[in-house]
Amino acid sequence: MAVDAGAAWRADTRRATGGDERMTAVCLCFQVHQPRRLRRYPVFAIGRERNYEDEAGNRKILDKVVDKCYLPANDLLLSLIDRHGGKFRLSFSITGVLLDELERFHPEVIASFQALAGTGCVEFLNETYHHSLAFLYSDEEFRGQVDRHRRRITELFGQEGETFRTTELIYNDALAAAAAEMEYRAILAEGAAAVLGPRDPNRVYEAAGGGGIRVLPRNYRLSDDISFRFSRRGWEGYPLTAAKYARWLHRLHGPETVINLFMDYETWGEHQWRETGIFSFLEALPGAILAGADFVFVTPREAAARKPAGVLSVPGFCSWADTERDLTAWRGNAMQRDALEALYGLEEAVTAKGDRDLAEQWRQLQTSDHFYYMCTKWCADGDVHRYFNPYPSPYDAYINYMNILDDFSRRVGKEKGS
């Protein structure tokens, strides 16, 4: 249902100014996503079963995350915005995959996000609708998914997208140029040393790809201190309190400083359980940060209005995934590359078929999580992949996916590999 939840945002003139650049800015952005996981699909199901999704499992996980994270965190953020008189500002990037599931099963969560939009203190970003890797394989499909997501966000939250982020913060110069062509003012990127070199991550940059689009690099250390290390008892920063964390940020104060803290929204209550104290930390955090005399919160498009510290060139791809912060989380082995090439190789056949339901199923199969499950990394990265993997092994994920793709390819009249 279309609403005018963004009226307060459009009336807020601060969005165009970026605030006083003498103030140190903190920019919070949360990725909100749940994949539609696939059912176990053995080879003898090919040609027999057309339902590829684990509907019961997906619903069970969604219900859990709604109860543990989305509803309590949204309620808390709404109260914090009110408590701080609109000085607390933040942003979300919610995938179309999740929006569809929430609208179907949990419309109360959509309503809670709309309440946040109505404060004028929350920005909603755009990305690919299906949280896909389409930019790497099909310009037409990529732009179509972005346009669909942009329209969906406008419909639900009354905001015309001005900030873009790609799946898992994938970024390079060509992507920035494409976003600029689509009239985005800002784009999010990973802020690792391999991307920035000697540059300060706590600055706004202009993309080398042209178009004047601003790049907001993530401060990955400070972001990961919350999302990954908050409850880790062996970590030197444990226990992490809001006051301690704010002191770390306050040390970075200075004119033109923008500290970008980007993380999964599920950090609050799901990845870090309530029992760890994560909600108490969040409740105290805005006040602790704003206690710094020269600190303000800004949204990404407000940050983008600030003067860039220079031009940032990133010719190769980066992301926020794993220690390499590249594309190897999804394309690092032969199984992943084979699955991706087979999937996107069906684009012409799917388009020619002209069947909307088949096209939607093809797009659901693009969700990047399916390929993440096939990753064969070990050590710390492997631990993360295993935590999120519903399959016994990456090889099981690949076999299951390719069985489904075999069936799907037959339905569009193109045998896999032909």
- The catalytic residue positions are 168
Spell out the residues 6+ positions from residue 331 whose beta carbon is closer than 8 angstroms to its own.
Answer: 133, 136, 337, 340, 371
Q: Are 366 and 130 in contact (CB under 8 A)?
A: yes
Q: For the chain, what's the residue count? A: 418
In angstroms, rounded to a whole number, what is the distance separating the alpha carbons of residues 259 and 25? 6
**Exposure letters 236-259 (e unless 16+ CB within 10 A, then b):** eeeebebeebbeebbebeeebbbb
Could you give phi then psi for residue 275, rounded to 5 degrees? -65, -20
Give 158's DSSP letter.
-
Tokens of 405: 């793709």
Q: Do 294 and 8 contact (CB within 8 A), yes or no?
A: no
Contacting residues for 315 by C-beta, under 8 A, at least 6 apart: 172, 173
Is residue 195 classed as helix, strand or coil in its secondary structure? Answer: helix
What one-character-per-residue DSSP string does 372-392 give?
HTT----HHHHHHHHHH--SS
CA distance 247 to 257: 15
Is residue 118 within 8 A of residue 11, CB to CB? The reply is no
